[in-house]
């Protein structure tokens, strides 16, 4: 009742009046935040932009993103708002999204070299309700590397978005969480499931942490303290090698729960660490044990569990949900056929789908990619074009479409020209 008239006035106001209006809104919403311990996000769409209020977080003050005042380049935790991002904001479904991991009904798994902010930008045109995860970022990379390059994201459109961290040093992980805190991720997740030799071998983290419950408990305790109210969750396997009994999994869950973890994403396979398996082999050879996850749901009703591993269709997701899991996480199938998942919002959340055609998605992504490459000279063609590689899987002309992306990308042609040429190989009925 207070905000809407002010926003209508702001639309007509000059620069000085806008500054006063935004200052008043910040004070007003900060005061509201201090009076409620609950998380709440509210979007005000249309030409007035998008307002996202989060209550109960010490550093999460209200912010108003408006077409009148674009975020300056380099702003912490956010990518400068481009015309492509604005277009996506204006088409956003208006809804309340709570940063509560118990609502993680459908999520897209963290995948190295894939779930970067460019792929997440594409995904937000396909689904507004799916929980998105970053690639795993190591604590040391955040402490010693380019923080903004590792942590910045499209704040106005990506939520709910989860930062996944990797590491085995309690002090480093705690420090990394503190550095990441101002970026306002909805949730921070600890990787206890990656079986890669680089991670679980030399790095001694990822799935290797399941062999040392007490160390992992210390990691989680330090992260929770530094997170200052931002939920901390864990993604793990059901065990490793010979440590694969249900009883050992329960001991791991209980140990982390004693540190304050209440939400677990369980890849329902063991991680084979002693046989030099590749990550691909570890995704395919160990048998799936969904029954372990189903038992966890029954035995630990105070905690929530998301099932991961082997799920490829809506029907499989719907069947999994009948066993009481809080949600389902899908990984490689998203990469293989992203367009297939365009019905997630309607089918799993009873919300309207974004409703964009693939032509509209590529037009928006083309504008976005052009601006990203302009702002970041180090950004390669392969990185910016990878998210749209499989957008037309199974359609006529897809081979020439992908060949065009590859060949023109190798020649470093302007990215908008590449996409315009590539899409010419796709039939209108598949684009619209």
List pLDDT tens digits, range 309-332: 999 999 999 999 999 999 999 999
pLDDT band at 62 (very low <50, low <70, confident <90, very high): very low
Mean pLDDT for 185-208 is 87
- Say whether pLDDT at 80 is over 50: no
Computed on alpha carbons and rounded to an integer, the radius of gyration of the chain in Å comes to 22
User: What is the three-class DSSP state of 381?
Assistant: helix
Residue that wins the pLDDT comparison between 426 and 6: 426
Burial level of 305, CB count in 10 A (0-12/13-18/19+)?
A: buried
- Say whether pLDDT at 48 is over 80: no
The dihedral region occupied by 74, where left means phi > 0, alpha psi between -120 and 50, and beta the remainder, is left
Mean pLDDT for 347-370 is 96
- Say whether pLDDT at 407 is over 50: yes
- Say whether pLDDT at 57 is over 70: no
pLDDT band at 45 (very low <50, low <70, confident <90, very high): very low
Max avg pLDDT among 50-54, 67-71, 161-165: 161-165
In angstroms, rounded to a whole number, what is the distance separating the alpha carbons of residues 232 and 217? Answer: 12
Catalytic residue among 194, 236, 250, 255: 194
Percent of the chain surpassing pLDDT 70:
76
- Say whether pLDDT at 372 is over 90: yes
Looking at the whole model, is its pTM more than 0.95?
Answer: no
pLDDT value at position 204? 82
- Say whether pLDDT at 84 is over 70: no
- Say whether pLDDT at 1 is over 60: no
pLDDT value at position 199? 81
Sign of CA dihedral 257, 262, 266, 272: negative
Concerning whether 236 is annotated as a catalytic residue, the answer is no
Residue that wins the pLDDT comparison between 20 and 342: 342
Average pLDDT, the chain: 82
For residue 104 the two structure tokens come to 């993680």
Mean pLDDT for 8-23 is 42
- Say whether pLDDT at 66 is over 60: no
pLDDT band at 85 (very low <50, low <70, confident <90, very high): low
For residue 307 the two structure tokens come to 């099932």
pLDDT value at position 155? 87
Mean pLDDT for 203-219 is 93
Please report, to the nearest 10 degrees, the dihedral formed by the alpha carbons of residues 209, 214, 218, 221 taken in order. Answer: 100
- Say whether pLDDT at 286 is over 90: yes
In angstroms, rounded to a whole number, what is the distance separating the alpha carbons of residues 394 and 338? Answer: 12
Percent of the chain surpassing pLDDT 90:
71
Task: Give residue 263's Cα distance to chain centre.
Answer: 16
- Say whether pLDDT at 137 is over 70: yes
Backbone angles phi, psi at 161, to 5 degrees: -135, 135
pLDDT value at position 42? 28
Mean pLDDT for 371-389 is 95
Quickly count: other Cβ atoms within 10 Å of residue 19's Cβ: 12
pLDDT value at position 90? 57
Q: Both ends of the chain: CA-CA distance in Å?
A: 40
pLDDT value at position 247? 98
pLDDT value at position 8? 42
pLDDT value at position 131? 97
């Amino acid at each position: 009742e207070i905000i809407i008239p002010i926003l209508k006035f702001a639309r007509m106001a000059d620069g000085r009046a806008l500054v006063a209006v935004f200052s008043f809104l910040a004070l007003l919403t900060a005061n509201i935040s201090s009076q409620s311990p609950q998380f709440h996000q509210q979007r005000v769409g249309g030409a007035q932009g998008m307002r996202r209020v989060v209550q109960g977080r010490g550093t999460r003050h209200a912010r108003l993103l408006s077409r009148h005042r674009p975020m300056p380049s380099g702003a912490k935790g956010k990518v400068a708002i481009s015309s492509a991002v604005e277009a996506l904001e204006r088409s956003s479904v208006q809804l309340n999204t709570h940063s509560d991991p118990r609502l993680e009904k459908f999520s897209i798994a963290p995948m190295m070299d894939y779930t970067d902010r460019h792929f997440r930008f594409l995904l937000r045109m396909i689904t507004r309700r799916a929980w998105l995860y970053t690639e795993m970022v190591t604590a040391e990379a955040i402490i010693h590397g380019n923080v903004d390059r590792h942590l910045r994201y499209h704040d106005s459109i990506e939520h709910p978005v989860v930062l996944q961290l990797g590491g085995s040093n309690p002090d480093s992980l705690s420090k990394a969480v503190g550095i990441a805190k101002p970026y306002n991720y909805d949730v921070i997740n600890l990787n206890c499931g990656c079986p890669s030799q680089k991670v679980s071998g030399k790095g001694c983290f990822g799935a290797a942490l399941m062999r040392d419950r007490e160390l992992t408990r210390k990691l989680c305790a330090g992260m929770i303290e530094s997170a200052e109210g931002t939920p901390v969750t864990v993604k793990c396997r059901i065990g490793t090698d010979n440590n694969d009994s249900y009883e050992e999994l329960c001991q791991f869950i209980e140990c982390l729960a004693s540190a304050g973890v209440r939400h677990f994403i369980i890849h329902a396979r063991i991680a084979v660490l002693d046989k030099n398996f590749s990550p691909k082999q570890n995704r395919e050879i160990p048998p799936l044990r969904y029954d372990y996850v189903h038992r966890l749901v029954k035995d630990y009703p105070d905690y929530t569990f998301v099932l991961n591993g082997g799920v490829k269709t809506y029907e499989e997701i719907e069947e999994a949900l009948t066993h009481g899991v809080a949600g389902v996480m899908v990984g490689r199938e998203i990469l293989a056929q992203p367009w297939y998942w365009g019905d997630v919002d309607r089918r799993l959340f009873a919300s309207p789908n974004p409703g964009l055609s693939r032509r509209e998605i590529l037009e928006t992504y083309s504008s976005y990619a052009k601006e990203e490459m302009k702002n970041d000279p180090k950004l390669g063609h392969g990185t910016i074009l990878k998210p749209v590689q499989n957008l037309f899987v199974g359609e006529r002309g897809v081979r020439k479409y992908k060949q065009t992306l590859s060949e023109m990308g190798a020649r470093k042609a302007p990215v908008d020209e590449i996409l315009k040429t590539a899409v010419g190989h796709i039939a209108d009925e598949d684009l619209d």
